[in-house]
Amino acid sequence: MTELIDSNSSIESPNMTASTAPAISAGDGPLKMTTRNVDVFYGDKQAIKDVSIDVTMDNVTAFIGPSGCGKSTFLRCMNRMNDTIPIARVTGEITLEGEDIYAPDMDVVQLRARVGMVFQKPNPFPKSIYDNIAYGPRIHGLANSKDELDNIVETSLQRAGLWGEVQDRLQDSGTALSGGQQQRLCIARAIAVDPEVILMDEPCSALDPIATAKIEELIHELRGKYAIVIVTHNMQQAARVSQRTAFFHLGTLVEYGVTSEIFTNPTEERTRDYITGRYG
Count of CB atoms within 10 A of residue 115's CB? Answer: 26
Q: Which stretch binds another protein (CB under 8 A): 56-64, 76-84, 146-154, 203-211?
A: 76-84
CA 106 – CA 163 distance, rounded (Å): 35
117 near another protein, judged by CB under 8 A: yes
Beta bridge partners of residue 246, listed in sequence order: 63, 256
CA 16 – CA 4 distance, rounded (Å): 8
89 near another protein, judged by CB under 8 A: no
CA 18 – CA 14 distance, rounded (Å): 8
Q: Which is nearer to another protein, 196 or 268 (CB)?
A: 196
DSSP state of 223: B
Residue from 5, 40, 81, 197 touching another protein (CB under 8 A): that is 81
Pattern of binders to another protein over 164-203, x per CB under 8 A?
Answer: -----------x----------x--xx-xx----------
Pattern of binders to another protein over 36-75, x per CB under 8 A?
Answer: ----------------------------------------
Q: How far is the CB of 276 from another protein (least distance, A)?
A: 34
Q: Which is nearer to another protein, 19 or 175 (CB)?
A: 175
**Whole-Å CA distances, 101 to 83, 93, 112, 211:** 12, 8, 10, 34
Residue from 65, 70, 136, 180 touching another protein (CB under 8 A): that is 136
Q: Which amino acid is at 226?
A: Y
Residue from 105, 109, 146, 277 touching another protein (CB under 8 A): that is 109
Residue from 5, 111, 152, 253 touching another protein (CB under 8 A): that is 111
Order of strands across the sheet with 45-56?
99-100, 88-96, 31-42, 45-56, 252-258, 244-249, 60-64, 227-231, 197-201, 115-118
236-265 residues in contact with another protein (CB under 8 A) are none
Burial class (CB in 10 A: 0-12, 13-18, 19+), 142: middle
22 near another protein, judged by CB under 8 A: no
102 near another protein, judged by CB under 8 A: no
Which residues fall within 8 angstroms of residue 209, CB to CB, at 6 or more apart? none
140 near another protein, judged by CB under 8 A: yes
Instruction: Say if CB 160 and CB 188 are below 8 A apart.
Output: yes
Helix axes 129-140, 146-159, angle to 10 degrees: 120
Q: Which is nearer to another protein, 42 or 119 (CB)?
A: 119
223 near another protein, judged by CB under 8 A: no
The contact set with another protein (CB under 8 A) reads 79, 81, 84, 86, 109-114, 116-119, 121, 123-126, 135-136, 139-140, 175, 186, 189-190, 192-193
